[in-house]
Structure 1
C-alpha cells in the first residue's frame, strides 16, 4: 500500500512539475505547439528505487523513459516562453564531455513522432559535446508527403525539395551539404571537410602567442607539423583543406614572431612549396569549378610577410619555392637569382629578399586576353629600409614558360593587393629585342603576361582581299591581251621568250592568288583541303618566281652578250625546267620532309600557309630562301640593265647637258617602274615583315602596309607595266581594236548600201 502511494505521489510530482514550472505554451491564433522540458534533481541514493518505480509511462502524451545515472553535467539552453508558432526557436544541449554517441532530436505531435534533422525545415548542428536544433518554419507543421522531396540516400535522410541537408564530416572537421533541387532530385555533395591534422595545426597557429612557451618556438612547432602534413598531398587534396592550410600561414603571418632557426625556415618553405605541387591544382579551385584568386592572393601575401620574419642571409630552394636573402650595401649592385630569374635592384640598401613561386601564376586572376608566361617573383625589403629609398629601379630578367610567337604582345605586371589583380603601373617591357626583361620602379610581386593572340593591323585583311580580287581580274585581262596581240608583237626570239614568260608568270600568280582567296577562312576548311591549298600556293608562288628568274636571266644575258645567239628551243627547255621542275621538287621535298604535310608541322591550321616558328625555323624557309635568292638576282639584273641604258656617249654640247641628264633619269625611272613588278622586287618588303616584330610599333606597321599593298595588287601592276606600259603591246592592242571597229563599220555600211539599192 505504501509503495502504491509513493508511486502516485511521484506521478503527481512529475505531472505538477511538468505542467507547472516547465511548460511553455505557445499562444496566438491558429495552431499552437507545446514545447516541454523536464529536469529532475534526485539524491544519488534514491536513483535505483526511482528507476524501478518509474518504468516507462505516458501521461497526456508525455512519455517518461527509464532514468539513467550519469556523472556528466548536461546543460540545456531553451527558448524563453511563450513560443509563437511563427517563430524560429533554437535549442542547444551542451555536455561536459563527449558521450561518443550521435544526438537525436525528435518532434512529437498528435499526428506522430518525427525525427528532426537537416533538411526537414530545420537545422541540426553537432560537434563533440554540443548539439543544437533550429526550427526554420512553423513548428506545428511538417511538410506533407504529397510535397516533392528527395528520398533518403545513404546517410542523407528524406529532404524537402529546394532545401539543403547537412551532415557532419566523418573523421574530419566541418560539414557536408547536399541540396535537394526544386524538382526533388539530389544534387552533388559539397564537402567542407578539413583533415583533423590540418585543423589541429590551424588551432595551434591561432594560439601560438597565447599560453605556455615562446611564440617563436610555438611557431616552429606549427611549421614542423605543417611540413609533415603537406608532405602527403592526399591529406590536403581538397579546397577545404587547402583553404585551412593557407589560413595557418595567414594566422602565423599576423603574429609577432621571428623565424630564426634553420629548421623552422626549412619547414616553413617546404610546407609553402608543397602547397604548389601540381597534383593539388584542383584544390585551389572552388567546388563550382571557378578559380578563387583570393586564396592565392592570401597565400602570396602571407608567405611574403613570413619571409620578412626570417632575419638571416640564406638561399633555400624547394620544388616550387626558392628564396634568396642577401644584405646589400649602399652604392653596390644588388642581385638575387631564383629559378634562373635574375632580379637587379638599384639603388640597394639593407636586406633584400627575393622569392620565386612556381605554379602560383596559374591561380592568380588572369586577364581576358592575356595569360601568364613566367613564374611569380617577389622582391621585398623591410618597411624601414624601403622608406629610406626615395626611388628604386628593379630589373627582372625572366625565363619565359613558353616561347613568344612573332607579333605577340607581352606585358610586365605587378600584383596589386588592393584590387587583387595584375597591374602595369610602374612596370615596362623592354621590347622584342629583350623580350624577357622587365623594368619596374617599385617593389612587389612581378610576372610576365603574354597575349593569347597576335597583334592585328587594322584594315590589313580587308586591303589584302580587295587587292587579291583586283589582281585576279587583272591577270585574266593580262593573259587575254597577250593572246590577242601575240601575232603582232612576237616577231623575234627575244620577244617570244619575254611574252611566254609573261603568260606563265600571270598564270602561276593567278592560281596562287585564287588559292589564297579560297583559303581565306581556314576555320571553314577541313585539314585535307587546307593541306592541298598550302601545297598549291607553295608550288605556284615558287613557280612564279622561277619564271621571273628565267625572264631576268634572259634579259641579263642579252644585255651583257648582245651578239651571242641561243636557239629558242634551248631557251624553252631551260625555262620549263627552271620554271616548273625546280619549284615542284622543292614543294614535294618540303611536304615529305615535314612529316608528310602534318598539321602544325608542315603548315599552320590558323593561316593555311607554311609554318613560321622563328628565324630559320619552320617550313616557311623553304619558300623564303629560294625567293630571297631569286629577288636578289633579279635586282642585280635590273641594275645591270639600267646601267646599260644609262651608258650613252658623252655630249660635248653643254647646252644640252641638263636635258640629257633628265632623259637618263627618266629612262632609269621608267625601267625601274616597268621591271619591279615582273621581277618580284616588291617582295623585298616580305623579308622586312619577317624581321620586324609588330610590337615595335609604327615602323613595323608601315612596312606591313607597304608589303600588303604592293603584293596584293601585283596582278594589277603586271597588267599596267607589261601590257599597257609596253609600247608595242599597247599599239598592237589599239590596232586590233581599230581593225575590229573598222570591220564592224564597213559591214554596217555594206548592209545599209544594199538596203538603199533595194
Structure 2
C-alpha cells in the first residue's frame, strides 16, 4: 500500500519516539501539528493514508505510555483538527480496507481516547471548547459536589466528579463501526460521545436520535476487547425519555435504534384467522338478510336498521378482502398496492360512516319517541354519509399527498396509509374521522343506557335492578360490534408504544382480536341476536325439513300434509309474536 511521503516520515518519527529516540513531551505538539497539515491535503484520500494517520495517533500514544509522560493540553487544538479531517465526507470510501475483519474505526476511536488520557489537565484548568466540523473536545474543570453538564453537537453528559472532565463528541464515525447488537441489526446515532473523568461512577447522557414508533432503543458503549457494541451497565430512559441513557461506567457511548419494530408473537396469524372468519360470517349474514328480508322488514324502523346493516356488511366485506389480498406487498406490483390502499381507505371509512348512521337513527328513536323519520330523508342522508363523505375524504387525501405518491400517500411495505409522526401523515385522514365517529356512537350508547336506567331509579326494586343490569349488558353486547365501539382501542394503540410492556401488548392483542373478528361478532349480534331473524330462520329451516319429508313419500302428497305445514307456520308465527310483545 502506497503512503504519501509526509505521512510516511511522520509515522517513522512516531515509531522512533516509541523506541525511545526522543522525548514525547517535547515532540508531541510537532507530531500532531504535522498530522493536521497532512490530513488537510487532498492526497490523504486513500485507505493507506487514513490507516497511516490513525497509526500515528496510536503509536505516539503508546510511546507516551512507555515513557510514562503526558503532553500539555494545548496539543488538543491540533488533535481536534487532525482527527476531524479524517472523518470528512470525502474520505468515507477511504475507510474501507482490504480486510473487513479488522475495524479501522475501532482503532481510531481507541486512539482518540488514549490521546485524551495522555493529556495533562491541571486542577485549575479553565473550561474550554475545541470545536471542529466532526470532532469537538470539551474540557470542564473540577468542581466539588457539582455535576458536569457538557453540551456539544446537541448532546449532553452529566457526571459527578471533582477532577477535570473531558468529553469528546465524534460525528460520522458510528456508521463505520459494526452496527449490530446481539446479532440484531440497528441504526446508530450520528454522534459517539466519549467521556473521561476520574471518580465518576455513574453518568447520565442525552444522545440525539429520532426514534420511530414501536422501535426499541439501546444505550451502548464500544467494547474494545470484543470489537462490538455492548449494553452492559447501561439503561435506556424508555419511551418517555427516548434520548436519555444512564451508564455505570465511562467509555465511548452512543444510542442504537432497532431497524425493525417490535413484533407481537402470533399477532399476524390472529389477524388473518379473524379476517378469514369475518369474511365467511359476513357472507353468511348477507345470505340470511336476503332470505328473511320480507319476513322481518315490516316497518320503517326495521327497514332503516336492516338497510344500514347490509351496507355495513358489504363495505366491511370488501375492506377485509382487500386487506387479505395484500399480506405480502413486496410481491405485489406498485399499482396493485396503491389500488388496495385506496380500496381499504374508502371501504373502512364507509363502514364507520354507516355505523354512525345506525347510531344516529337509534339516538333519534330514543330521544324523539313520537317523531318518525321520513324514509326518503333518512335513507338519502345515510347514503350521502355512507359513501359520498368517505369518497370526498379519500379523493382530497389522495390529491393532497402528491396524487397518491409512494412514501407520501401510502407505503409499499404495508400497502396502507403513511404514518410520519404525531398528526403527520395520510393515516390521520383515516384515524381522525374514525375516532370522531366512535365517540359519537359511544355517546349514543350512553344515552340508550341512561334511558334503560330511568325506570329503575324511580322504582328502586332490587328485582328490577337485576333486570336493568341484564338489559344494559345485553345492550352493550349487541351494539358494540355494529357501532364500532371496539375501535376505541385503536386510540390507546396510538398512545401506547410497544416498548411499554405489558400494557401496550395487551391493548394491541385486544384490538386485533375484536376488530379482525368484527364480521363474526356482527353475525352473532346483528343476525342471530335479533329474535325476528331467528324466528324467520327457524320457519325456513323447518319448512325445508317438512317439505323434504313430504316429497320423500313420492306421489302420496296429501292435503292433510299441506294442512300440517300451514298449521306449523301459524304456531311459529304466534310464538314469534309472543317474543316480540315481550
TM-score calculated relative to the size of structure 1: 0.70
Describe the SS at the equivalent of 1:407: coil
Does 1:348 find its partner at 2:135? no
Can you list the C-alpha shifts for 1:692-725, whole angstroms capped at 9, x where unaligned? 1111121111111000000000000000001001
Residue of structure 2 equivalent to 1:678: 482
Residue of structure 2 equivalent to 1:243: 51
Can you list the C-alpha shifts for 1:487-545, whole angstroms capped at 9, x where unaligned? 11111111000000000000000000000000111111011000000000000000010
Describe the SS at the equivalent of 1:669: helix
Does 1:479 find its partner at 2:293? no
Describe the SS at the equivalent of 1:647: helix
Does 1:260 find its partner at 2:69? no
Residue of structure 2 equivalent to 1:276: 87
Does 1:507 find its partner at 2:323? no
Give the one of 707, 714, 718 matched to 2:511: 707
How far apart, in 1, do the equivalents of 2:467 and 2:327 lie?
A: 45
2:24–2:60 CA contact under 8 A, matched in 1: no
**1:481 positional shift:** 0.6
Map 1:632-711; keep pairs closer than 5 Å: 632-648=439-455, 657-711=461-515
How far apart, in 1, do the equivalents of 2:521 and 2:113 lie?
A: 64
* Stretch of structure 1 that moved more, 559-568 or 677-686: 559-568
CA separation of 1:681 and 1:753: change in aligned 2, threshold 3 A: closer
1:285–1:291 CA contact under 8 A, matched in 2: no
1:209–1:218 CA contact under 8 A, matched in 2: no
Does 1:574 find its partner at 2:381? yes
Can you list the C-alpha shifts for 1:101-139, whole angstroms capped at 9, x where unaligned? xxxxxxxxxxxxxxxxxxxxxxxxxxxxxxxxxxxxxxx
**1:570 positional shift:** 0.9
Residue of structure 1 equivalent to 2:37: 228
How far apart, in 1, do the equivalents of 2:169 and 2:22 lie?
A: 33
Does 1:428 find its partner at 2:235? yes
Does 1:592 find its partner at 2:405? no
Residue of structure 2 equivalent to 1:317: 131
Describe the SS at the equivalent of 2:141: strand
Give the one of 360, 365, 371 matched to 2:178: 365
Describe the SS at the equivalent of 1:528: helix
Residue of structure 2 equivalent to 1:492: 299
How far apart, in 2, do the equivalents of 1:267 and 1:193 lie?
A: 25
**1:268 positional shift:** 1.6
How far apart, in 2, do the equivalents of 1:627 and 1:271 lie?
A: 57
Describe the SS at the equivalent of 1:648: helix
2:285–2:523 CA contact under 8 A, matched in 1: yes
How far apart, in 2, do the equivalents of 1:709 and 1:421 lie?
A: 41
CA separation of 1:670 and 1:230: change in aligned 2, threshold 3 A: same
Structure 2: gaps spanning 5 or more residues: 559-582
Map 1:243-642; keep pairs closer than 5 Å: 243-256=51-64, 257-260=69-72, 262=74, 264-287=75-98, 290=100, 292-293=102-103, 295-310=104-119, 311=121, 312-313=125-126, 314-345=128-159, 347-367=160-180, 368-381=184-197, 385-386=198-199, 392-400=201-209, 403-642=210-449
Map 1:47-66; keep pairs closer than 5 Å: none
How far apart, in 2, do the equivalents of 1:677 and 1:328 lie?
A: 65
**1:593 positional shift:** 0.8
Give the one of 511, 518, 524 matched to 1:720: 524
**1:748 positional shift:** 3.3
How far apart, in 1, do the equivalents of 2:114 and 2:490 lie?
A: 53
1:205–1:219 CA contact under 8 A, matched in 2: no
CA separation of 1:203 and 1:571: change in aligned 2, threshold 3 A: same
Residue of structure 2 equivalent to 1:64: none
How far apart, in 1, do the equivalents of 2:72 and 2:142 lie?
A: 20
**1:337 positional shift:** 1.4
TM-score calculated relative to the size of structure 2: 0.91
